[in-house]
Amino acid sequence: MTGLTLWRNSRLATLAGDLPWGLVEDGALLVERDKLAWVGPLTDLPHDLRARVGAEHDLGGALVTPGLVDCHTHLIYGGQRAREFELRLQGASYEEIARAGGGIRSTVVATRAASNEDLFAAARARALTLMAEGVSTLEIKSGYGLNLHDEGRCLSIARRLGAELPLTIRTTFLGAHALPPEFDGRADDYIDAVCAWMPQLQARGLVDAVDAFCENIGFSPAQTRRVFEAARALGLPVKLHAEQLSDQGGAALAAEFGALSCDHLEHLGAAGVRAMSGAGTIAVLLPGAYYFLRETKLPPIAQLREQRVPIALASDHNPGSSPGLSLQLMISMACTFFRLTPEEAVRGVTINGARALGLHDRGTLAAGQRADFAVWELQHPNELAYWFGHNPCRRVVVAGHERPPAPQKT
Ligand code: NIG
Ligand code: FE
């Protein structure tokens, strides 16, 4: 039998149990293959398990958290939209630019024109940046191809990233992101096409979940419902870009389909909060988009808390509304802008991020969970919300294996 690996001399923010942060002093993690076999204070480690330890790492008192989960990104795209940002700074709105054929559509043109290798290389570099800050699970949406060929190409590149990089990638089919020019004036026909592509992409193993952009400049609730019905018929879980710019009732619709998450939510109303609560749908807040679009309407945090809707945070990395690549900055902004507590924010990028992807095997440090964890040069987990603009992540372990280029010394 292979020996167990012991990681000791750390402060653990397990996010499990009832204590704040699930904090464990003088903590130890025992790893067996890809799983945590035991977690707790070193002094409590049972003798029979201690006897099976083959390798040992002294963490020198460092902080350990679960590996971070970025549950909402649009990582694969061609080009960039710095010029659009300049126009917005001069007064043009995100909606105006979208209606004039810019916005998402301009990224669709650049993505369709890009080679597989260029798309892969750019997305790989972005993923590595997120990973350097402790990300071990990453969701990637399509939505810049908007035809079967290019949506399939982007989702295949996401799968290739998952195969070549040491992290978990979950893919989301976001065909209903925007209306491509070849369907101008025919949004319902485009939704028919999206629903027809879905089983083909699923049959190629490319789809873990289905998303849509339900908005004035996106798709109507009725069109979104058709996308969700197609997903349900295929047994695929759904998520929704909901109430970002206006209250369309998208969250209630998504909840009706048992959505894993509703994302953005600045314009979410009381009925939407109640529906999400009843369905167990996670609220994914995206402070990067709130910041970069200079949004002023806050998501209804107090109501989400009251109705016990779990809150996740994500980077929403994309070239139009959130070009940032730092979950730590998202934690910081969620606290400063949304007044999340540091613990809520960190839960948002761990356990609740995992739940927003339908993953229950990660997000806390507890026996039986995947051995995905990050080691930080920090004293206390509240510092994850405090520092910004530099990276205190020192080591990352994914499925029991330490990820290079982190130091290999024990
Ligand atoms: O999550 N709102 C829709 N989708 C993205 C933005 C896409 C873009 O502008 O390219 C978002 O904010
Ligand atoms: Fe998004």
User: Phi first, then psi: what are they for 393, rounded to 5°?
Assistant: -80, 125
Compute, in angstroms, the gap from residue 160 CA to the centroid of ligand 2.
21
Q: Which residues surround ligand 2, an ion (CB under 5 A)?
A: 316
**Helix 104-113 and helix 148-164, axial crossing angle in degrees, nearest 10:** 70
Name the residue with higher pLDDT: 169 or 407: 169
What the block records as the tokens of 1 is 């039998």
Query: Is the pLDDT reported for residue 369 higher than 70?
Result: yes
Confidence category of residue 69, pLDDT binned at 50, 70, 90: very high
User: Phi first, then psi: what are they for 409, rounded to 5°?
Assistant: -65, 150
Query: Residue 84: nearest ligand to its CA?
Result: 1
Write the DSSP assignment of 216-227 as a string of letters. TTSB-HHHHHHH
For ligand 1, atom 12, name the residue with the nearest CA.
321
On whether the CB atoms of residues 250 and 221 are closer than 8 A, the answer is yes
Confidence (pLDDT) at 2? 63
Summarised one tens digit per residue, pLDDT across range 138-151 is: 999 999 999 999 99
pLDDT mean across residues, the chain: 97
Compute, in angstroms, the gap from residue 76 CA to the centroid of ligand 1.
12
Confidence (pLDDT) at 1? 52
DSSP 403: P
For ligand 1, atom 11, name the residue with the nearest CA.
321
Whether the CB of 320 sits within 6 Å of ligand 1 = yes
Compute, in angstroms, the gap from residue 81 CA to the centroid of ligand 1.
12
For ligand 1, atom 8, name the residue with the nearest CA.
320
Query: Residue 77: nearest ligand to its CA?
Result: 1
Query: Is the pLDDT reported for residue 9 higher than 80?
Result: yes
Helix (H, G, I), strand (E, B) or coil at 173: strand
Summarised one tens digit per residue, pLDDT across range 79-116 is: 999 999 999 999 999 999 999 889 999 999 999 999 99
The pTM score is 0.97
Let me know how long the chain is: 410
Whether the CB of 142 sits within 6 Å of ligand 1 = no
Compute, in angstroms, the gap from residue 263 CA to the centroid of ligand 2.
7
Confidence (pLDDT) at 360? 98
Mutate to test the pocket of ligand 1, among 215, 313, 321 (most ligand atoms within 8 A of CB): 321
Atom of ligand 1 nearest to the CA of 319: 10
Q: How far apart are CA 89 and CA 106, in angstroms?
A: 18
Query: Is the pLDDT reported for residue 313 higher than 90?
Result: yes
Q: How far apart are CA 277 and CA 279, in angstroms?
A: 5
Whether the CB of 40 sits within 6 Å of ligand 1 = no
Compute, in angstroms, the gap from residue 405 CA to the centroid of ligand 2.
30
Atom of ligand 1 nearest to the CA of 289: 12
Whether the CB of 240 sits within 6 Å of ligand 1 = no
Write the DSSP assignment of 35-93 as a string of letters. EEEEEEEGGG--HHHHTTEEEEEEEEEEEEEEPEEE-------SS--HHHHHHHHTT--
